[in-house]
Amino acid sequence: MGVYNEITNDFLRIQLDWFQEMLSLLCNTSSDCNKLLSGSLVLMGEIGGNDYYNALFSGKSTEQVEKYVPFVIEAIASEINELIALGASTLLVPGVFPFGCVPAFLTRYQTSYADEYDPSTGCLN
């Protein structure tokens, strides 16, 4: 969507391809892989953060970045379905961390308006 960061530009699809390459080193047949995955916890990682983070720091507005949400969710759901098809039965898919607590966002969007901050955490709302 017009935002590129060479450090974090490895798409979820590429990461799943890497996972499948690694998986092929751990098991010889798809049946073996299915058995391995069915007894494993598959951690998807924190997904989508770089999409939002990079867009906000490239100057996109919050309203523009909110339009990314359906695409990020679709990508995550697609990869989860593929992992299930490979045999995964227990997956952990955490959401993005609270951006209002990230030091870079606290610095960039700092304000003197106290109501812009959560009183219990000090994070930006």
pLDDT digits (tens, 9 = 90+) for 48-77: 777 888 888 888 888 988 888 898 888 889
C-alpha 6/C-alpha 23 separation (Å) is 26
Single out the residue of 64, 32, 54 nearest to residue 104, CA to CA: 54
Question: What ranges in 7-90 are assigned the alpha helix state H?
Answer: 12-26, 30-38, 49-57, 62-66, 69-86
pTM above 0.85, yes or no: no
Any idea where the domains of the chain sit in the sequence?
A: 12-94, 97-125
Q: How many CB atoms lie within 10 A of CB 47?
A: 19
Cα-atom radius of gyration of the chain, to the nearest Å? 18
pLDDT digits (tens, 9 = 90+) for 25-56: 999 898 999 999 999 999 987 777 778 888 88
